[in-house]
Structure 1
Amino acid sequence: MLGEFRRTAVLVPLDERDSLWTADFGGVRWICAFSDAPALARFAYARGESDREWAYRSLLGARLLDAVVPALPGPGGVALDAGSHDGMLFPPVAGVVPDTVAVDLGGRR
């Protein structure tokens, strides 16, 4: 699944500052990404925010894991399709993110 995610463009909503939308949970900053527009729409509906427009960027999964996660100010990962039955987490561990930020290898966090 990781290889497929790395090769796939996903949608990442933008927050009120036009930054990628994240959520903090368990000491990790999770970038919220969605596999397609319907998945993002279901998430917006579940949050009770389906009546507003959700701006987003399309990014390759590899770019999120290799460039964006290391730029976060602490441990970070990607939550794909949060809140769905098919959701997945790509945590800040070796083999998922660069070794320099992998928490299981004592990354710079």
Structure 2
Amino acid sequence: MELGAEIAAYRTGTGDPGRLVGEFRRAVLLVPLAGDSTDADGGLMSAFSGGIRWFYAFTDEEAMARFAAARGEADRDRPYMAILGARLVDAVVPEVEGPAGVAVNVADPDGSMLFPPVAGIVPDGCAVDIGAESAAGVG
């Protein structure tokens, strides 16, 4: 099952959390780049909310277009990169100062999903629900 279908199943109460995270890790996500179309050196587009840096990610160009329209940027050409969900949480999240997670399809009221910085989603050293001693193997 693809990520959008797993999100839908989970939101209706019929999904499995393990399958959802597995599909998220296997999915190729589209992540808008910060800055404008002539300057993509700003990194990945994200927002800060509730003490967490949330990277925006989308399952397809249509979901990303709905996000742009919701922001009043439908006519703006925003560059993006395609990245595996696993690479986003395993390689990008650890580079962020402070907790970070991924917000998928945030402009879709019935198809959005947050993947927070917790064990099982992000590396243990980045998970907010694991103490520093446990993540380091101490204790």
Matched, 1:22 2:46: yes
Q: Which runs of 4+ in 1 moved over 2 A?
A: none
RMSD: 1.2
CA contact (8 A) 2:63 2:107 kept: no
Structure 2 unmatched ranges of 5 or more: 1-19, 36-40
Structure 1: stretches of 5+ with no match in the other structure:
none
Aligned partners of 2:33 and 2:80 also within 8 Å? yes
> In the aligned structure 2, how far is the partner of 1:72 from the partner of 1:78?
12
Partner residue of 1:96?
A: 121
* CA distance in 1: counterparts of 2:118 and 2:23, whole angstroms: 18
Q: What is the rounded CA distance, in whole Å, between the counterparts of 1:81 and 1:59 in structure 2?
A: 15
Cα distance between partner residues in 2 of 1:83 and 1:41: 9
The offset of 1:83, in angstroms, is 2.3
Q: Retained in 1: the 8 A contact 2:106–2:112? A: yes
Greater share of residues in strand: 1
Which one of the candidate residues 126, 130, 133 is aligned to 1:105? 130
How many angstroms apart in 1 are the aligned matches of 2:117 and 2:92? Answer: 12
Return the alpha-carbon distance in structure 1 between the equivalents of residues 62 and 131 of structure 2: 37
Amino acid at match of 1:90: F
CA deviations on 1:14-68 (whole Å, 9 max, x unpaired) are 0114310010010000000000000000010111100110100000000011110
Question: What secondary structure sits across from 1:15 in the alignment?
Answer: coil
Q: TM-score by structure 2 length?
A: 0.75
- How many residues are paired up? 108
Matched, 1:34 2:58: yes
Structure ID, larger Rg: 2
TM-score normalized with structure 1 length: 0.95
